[in-house]
Amino acid sequence: MENSIATKKSSLMQLIPVMLCFFAMGFVDLVGSASNYVQKDLGLTDAQANLFPSLVFFWFLIFAVPTGMLMNRIGRKKTVLISLAITAVSLVIPLFGEGYWLMLAAFSLLGIGNALMQTSLNPLVSNLISSDKLASTLTFGQFVKAIASFLAPILCAWGATTLLPTFGLGWRILFVIYAVVCLLSVAILGATPIEEERPDKASGIKECLKLLGNPFILICFIGIMCHVGIDVGTNTTAPKIIMERLALSLEEASFATGLYFIFRTAGCFAGAFILRYMKPKLFFGISVLMMAASMAILLTAHTLTAIYVGIALVGFGNSNVFSVVFSQAITAMPNEKNEVSGLMIMGLFGGTVFPLAMGYAADAFGQAGAVCVMAAGVIYLLYYTLRIKNFK
């Protein structure tokens, strides 16, 4: 009995720094708010501005699978620490200016750091939690991550409206705050002992990519692409829909991004408990139907209330998609967790594909064109719902 209590306490003390890392993982979502302010400051088109979030998620395509191999060599915890260090550097760069190329460099490093972090942090959780609780624990991690995402547009607006005359940083104060938290995460995780399972074999890129030959792993991979594409797309496009249809300023419309993250945060928090009692297939299906309703609203709405309802629905519905898809993939192939994790995080490349397509569609057809691109991702997730397995 005493050993059981000691084990639970040890696990809790290990989960706390891991959850702080999930908060740091949420820093990647600042790109949506930041890109809108960069667009305004530099007078960029939608296609040019959407290059920022696209560039961030491009690096997931390049680094996710090699990170899975790196974990096999040095372990998951050390890989997470490296990712946090890279993220900290990316957050310091914008403090030296806000030129186009400087911001491209910062967002590139942010994407590289986040690719390493998401690939290594999720399987690190599997060392601390049993497989039947993995989906709900990852969902709670996404809830913590969503708090950082939710705070980003608030901090940007606060900095832009109150701090510009005083410090000259304006909305970039966000980078200062998150850089401090990132360094704190490095210190706490580095001091926390975590016993990791060692891989049976070292794998190469070819062996990892071969796993996409498994039909279920492939549909999970595409599901992750659609999830993050919708996430980044809504993050970036929500204020633009309001500005286009209601002629509000960016500062007034930026609450739309905050609203999205409020409901995504609430969805993650609720999902952490619901997934302990409801089968993933049913909960996932309900979530995707909410997203489908939101796409219909965002295509047709011309009042602020209706647009807010659409944003809230996609925020709540999309909040648990990653956790369910990721846990489905990693549970389907438990002997290749590192490799499968690398592949799933490579699917975050959808955050590059969707915003680019949405930017061109918006330039050609208005923001309704951008919503149509996201709607295609929702249709795929409806198909994926039919393929979900109920693992024991």
pLDDT tens, residue by residue, 236-247: 888 899 999 998
Tell whether the model's pLDDT for residue 306 goes beyond 90. Answer: yes
Dihedral angle, C-alpha 29, 34, 40, 45, nearest 10 °: -50
Q: Are 208 and 68 spatial neighbours (Cβ–Cβ below 8 Å)? A: yes
pLDDT band at 141, cuts 50/70/90? confident
Tell whether the model's pLDDT for residue 82 goes beyond 50. Answer: yes
Dihedral angle, C-alpha 118, 124, 128, 131, nearest 10 °: 70
pLDDT tens, residue by residue, 164-210: 554 566 777 778 888 899 999 999 888 888 777 665 455 567 777 88
Sign of the dihedral defined by the CA atoms of residues 244, 245, 250, 254, in that order: negative
Q: What is the reported pTM?
A: 0.73
Percentage of the chain lying above the pLDDT 90 cut = 25
Tell whether the model's pLDDT for residue 9 goes beyond 60. Answer: no
Rounded mean pLDDT, 83-108: 87
CA 20 to CA 12: how far, in whole Å? 13
Tell whether the model's pLDDT for residue 383 goes beyond 60. Answer: yes
